[in-house]
Amino acid sequence: MSPYAHITGWGMAVPERILTNQELEKMVDTSDDWIVTRTGIRERRIASDGETTASLATKASLKALDVANIAPAEVDLIIVSTSSPEYLFPATASIVQDNLGANKAGAFDILAACTGFIFGLNIASQAIRSGSIKNSLIIGSETLSRIIDWNDRATCVLFGDGAGAFVLQAGEEESGLLSAVMRSDGSGKDMLCIPGGGSRFPTSVETVNQGMHFVKMNGREVYRFATRVMVQSTHEVVRKANLSLDDIDLVIPHQANKRIIETAARNLNIPMDRCVLNIDRFGNTSTASIPIATCEAIAEGKLNPGDNVVFVGFGAGLTWGAAVVRWSGPFPGLRVVRPPAIRFYARLRSFVKRILRKIDAVIWGSLDSRR
């Protein structure tokens, strides 16, 4: 029988710096009242100079590995979902792999905007279910503050920075990811996008002068799309898991707007106390919002082993998706692994490898010049 993909570890990392609505009032023509009534957001976290998408992802991953009690070297696959990657390439996942010292892992990024964490969760789970890998890290990480136009009140009040990570492990018991739905509709590509800086409009003085490297959004259209697909994909994914909505203990939706979540919950006939809502403190952290909300739900005792949980999200692409997970928790184990301590050796190994690569280049260079 094929193994199941259990979620055995989780972790989140958010910057310390808090940006309140009151501070935003001084930056753009907005008000705390407008932001709270229209979105439910009161404050968000903003990365400081030293913090990046990879550094937040690494922090969240170390916590997740610690909970799962597995060493970085036991991880077979690392997937980072992000819309604010460290670079266009290499993948942010490669940097995280190096930071962690996960020296046996393949690592790559996926770009499916706010839905990316759900897509990544499904991809990693299917790799586990096929028997091709045993342990995987899936991370949602964003520093959206770096790609937002801080003069555009329509977008800058919405987003925040942060990261969340899950460890997935193969297990025999019927638990973990039970079903998933992944959807896209590229005809809505203009509704939410960063037009400049890619191969369509490569970075130039003009693209920068026109602010094409910032997030552009048609808020109203995204709003209508979101409320529709959240309901559709929740119904679909629950049916796929051979469950009914009454069997679902908790819904953890993408945190884009409190009103979107309330409308979807109402249309699904699910009381709000079965939905996780933390947008007031973090804003929309895109693909990181679901794992961050999950970490908080666990810490508050809202999500326990054996519970059926629905993750549901939507975002640029357009993309949307959902997953049903029977919550597992860490596998019992006697040995104690300390992933954060192992990190020191990972940094040392990476440093030595860089030196060796330089020596190698010098030797090859001198051999080449003799030919």
Cβ-based nearer residue to ligand COA, 94 or 155: 155
Decide if 295 is catalytic.
no
Rounded Cα gap, residues 116 and 57, in angstroms: 14
CA distances from 295 to 240, 304, 322, 355 (A): 25, 11, 18, 38
Rounded Cα gap, residues 46 and 282, in angstroms: 9
Write out the binding residues for ligand COA, residues 51-80 only, by CB under 6 A.
none
Nearest distance in Å: CB 290, ligand COA: 11
Nearest distance in Å: CB 37, ligand COA: 9
Decide if 151 is catalytic.
no
Of 69, 122, 257, 284, which residue is the catalytic one? 284
Decide if 304 is catalytic.
no
Cβ-based nearer residue to ligand COA, 137 or 322: 322
Of 254, 275, 278, 295, which residue is the catalytic one? 254
Nearest distance in Å: CB 31, ligand COA: 6
What x/- string results for residues 109 through 138 when contact with ligand COA is judged by CB under 6 A?
Answer: -----x------------------------
Q: Does 270 bind ligand COA (CB under 6 A)?
A: no
Rounded Cα gap, residues 34 and 250, in angstroms: 29
Among 42, 129, 146, 153, binds ligand COA (CB under 6 A): 153
Nearest distance in Å: CB 154, ligand COA: 4
Structure tokens of 192? 């939410």
Compute the C-alpha angle 104/105/109, nearest 5°. Answer: 160
Rounded Cα gap, residues 159 and 154, in angstroms: 11
E strand intervals along 185-215: 192-193
Rounded Cα gap, residues 88 and 106, in angstroms: 18
Q: Does 292 bind ligand COA (CB under 6 A)?
A: no
**Could you tell me which residues come within 8 angstroms of residue 132 by beta carbon, excluding any fewer than 6 positions away?**
none
One-letter amino acid for residue 369 of the chain:
S
Structure tokens of 209? 């002068």
Write out the binding residues for ligand COA, residues 27-56 only, by CB under 6 A.
30, 34, 38-39
One-letter amino acid for residue 72 of the chain:
P
* Residues near ligand COA, by CB under 6 A: 30, 34, 38-39, 114, 153-154, 157, 192, 217, 219-220, 222-223, 226, 256-257, 284, 315
Active-site residue list: 114, 254, 284
